[in-house]
A and B are shown apart, each in its own frame.
Chain A
């Protein structure tokens, strides 16, 4: 019964979508050079498109046989030699045991200053609360006093929310904090953002107090 109902709905949806006008000019092609300047971080470059023939080699093969070949799936660990097809390096330094730590421009005392000014958010919110203005203004003052310093704003979430949603929410929090700093007169090119979603909690407990500590944006010095 459920099956029939869904078939009807699907058919109805197809009819509806068939009646929709496509807007041919709606797609905006975006080239790799269109990156907002202050966001470019001089890291990897977008590799060029590989020839279409490289994938067609496999398309004739039935699924079951392709799957058999996974038994020898190579681990992508051997990339410090930079041997990628285009010569672009997704190589990086040896990160044994941890995320690469950003190098401090100024000193550990300044990192502590920034760490002390982590800002916090309400549940499922990326709005800057008035209670966080003081911390943000401290960050503004720091950046004004250290004109060579650049910081990365890193957004985080508590674990209530799906992993995918939280990654996006964390990015929104970072962007909100960055926006505040820009409005306070800090040059946008000194401020980058990223999100860790719920993968780097500051507190591991399950209380509201723990969750509140995790809904945050941190300010990290970058070289």
Chain B
């Protein structure tokens, strides 16, 4: 019943969105003639280096709109309301929510004008932030994306649930209410399927969970430990680690379970697989000294990734643009988020933390930080500028294992 409803929503929404876009690019009085109603906006912004922090002034925004814009812009390398702004985003004086973006470098040039007619205040602010990001950073914004993660609720209870929230930690919703240990969430927003490990039956089993209907089914409940499900970018194949043959090895199955294929044949344990964005390769931790390895999804020899500067690598996440693999470097009890070029090379230490997951635009990472003893916090890292923002999820307890919906 619910699934029928959601299908109807998804079919009709493109029409709504198209209409919304048309009205948002409607001309404002002060705009240049180039911004005619039925033409796409042509934004001319002088190139900004990817790694430059961009100072931007927000004028005329307050309350929720301000906080959303502040957050969304900060996690893609803007610095809001600092000194010497390069850009200014000015609220509309009248006629609803929107903004006019000015390039302040070498004179004040108007580069963008938007008005939004539908959606909640938060939705519209996210949409405006996305438009600013697209205009200045030349990458898609992440304001409308979601993350999946687990929380120990309350902290210290040893009971975990899977949650979904907006990428900025707002609107968290429980996906499970099982009061047991769950872990390793993975999901595919296109197919609407989530996968995770649940101990509900007393054993770590991999479960498929239809996020539209709430229906769950079993993927792998072999004796031993079934862990690390990772759904392929096309949503058709699931990578995972199974100990069914004794040692913990990398397997693939179909998205609904079955058709199990073993991909690794090592004496070491394999841990925490992730997919290349093209779906042709899998990155997995292996080795006596745990390091990242690649294996073709169709099988073949496992190849060690060259990783200068790393010594204990787990929890890889492959950027959707294919260029980087983020991972956790462990040194004793210290954890750092590193990236390495997907073809191997020098590792770059980004921030203290663990378990990174890339945003759909391959710029921002969501990761876990250990703070003050047993507390865990989810944070966002803008990789090129290294700006960090914590997600406001402390009321849910200790939240970990974030995964972005790419």
Residues on A lying within 8 angstroms of B by beta carbon are: 2-3, 5-7, 9-14, 17, 20, 22-23, 26-32, 34-36, 38-41, 43-50, 55, 57-59, 61-79, 83-86, 88, 90, 92, 95-100, 102, 159-165, 167-172, 174-175, 192-197, 199-200, 204, 206
Contact = CB atoms under 8 A, between A and B. Distances in A.
Interface residues of B, number: 119
Contact of A6 (B173, B189, B203, B345): B345
B191 interface: yes
A1 to B, nearest CB: 10
A66 B360 CA distance: 14
Contact of B343 (A13, A44, A57): A13
Given A23-B300, A67-B146, A6 B324 contact: yes
B94 interface: no
A49 B235 CA distance: 14
29 contacts: A2-B348, A5-B346, A13-B341, A20-B301, A20-B303, A26-B299, A28-B261, A29-B259, A35-B244, A39-B222, A46-B257, A49-B257, A58-B192, A59-B191, A64-B17, A64-B144, A65-B17, A66-B190, A68-B10, A70-B189, A74-B212, A75-B177, A100-B201, A162-B355, A163-B400, A167-B183, A168-B269, A199-B158, A200-B181
Given A44-B221, A164-B272, A168-B248, A13 B342 contact: yes
A44 B204 CA distance: 12
B378 to A, nearest CB: 13
B261 A74 contact: no
B190 to A, nearest CB: 6
Interface string B323-358: 110001010110100000111111010000011000
Given A61-B10, A204-B374, A55 B243 contact: no
Nearest to B7: A57
A76 to B, nearest CB: 5
A154 B341 CA distance: 38
Contact of B298 (A14, A27, A84, A97): A27
A78 B214 contact: yes
A10 B7 contact: no
Contacts of B31: none
Closest 10 CB pairs of A and B: A13-B343, A39-B223, A74-B214, A27-B299, A164-B272, A65-B13, A6-B341, A10-B343, A160-B333, A77-B177
A76 B216 contact: yes
Given A47-B257, A65-B14, A92-B201, 7 more contacts: A5-B346, A32-B260, A35-B244, A44-B205, A168-B241, A171-B248, A199-B183
Interface of B: 2, 5-7, 9-11, 13-14, 17, 50, 144-146, 156, 158, 160, 164, 171, 173-181, 183-184, 189-193, 199-205, 207, 209, 211-225, 227-228, 235-236, 241, 243-246, 248, 251, 254-263, 265, 269-272, 285, 290, 294, 296, 298-301, 303, 314-315, 322-324, 328, 330, 332-333, 335, 341-346, 348, 354-355, 360, 373-374, 400-401, 405
Contacts of A194: 203-204, 224-225
A112 B373 CA distance: 31
B300 A20 contact: yes
Residue from B10, B14, B272, B342 having most chain A Cβ neighbours under 10 A: B10
Given A43-B203, A90-B207, A164-B184, A5 B269 contact: no
Given A6-B341, A44-B205, A167 B225 contact: yes
Contacts of A6: 323-324, 341, 343, 345
Contacts of B17: 62, 64-65
Given A45-B218, A84-B217, A194-B204, A63 B212 contact: no
A29 B14 contact: no
B227 A168 contact: yes
A47 B248 contact: no
A221 to B, nearest CB: 13
Nearest to A1: B51
Contact of A55 (B174, B211, B221, B236): B236
B216 A79 contact: yes
A70 B224 contact: no
A75 B203 CA distance: 21
Given A76-B175, A164-B315, A84 B224 contact: no
Contacts of A73: 164, 173, 175, 211-212, 214
Nearest to B178: A95
A118 to B, nearest CB: 17
A168 B200 CA distance: 19
B1 to A, nearest CB: 10
B223 A35 contact: yes
A21 B323 CA distance: 23
A84 B176 CA distance: 16
B330 A162 contact: yes
A160 to B, nearest CB: 4
B235 A55 contact: yes
Contacts of A71: 171
A66 B271 contact: no
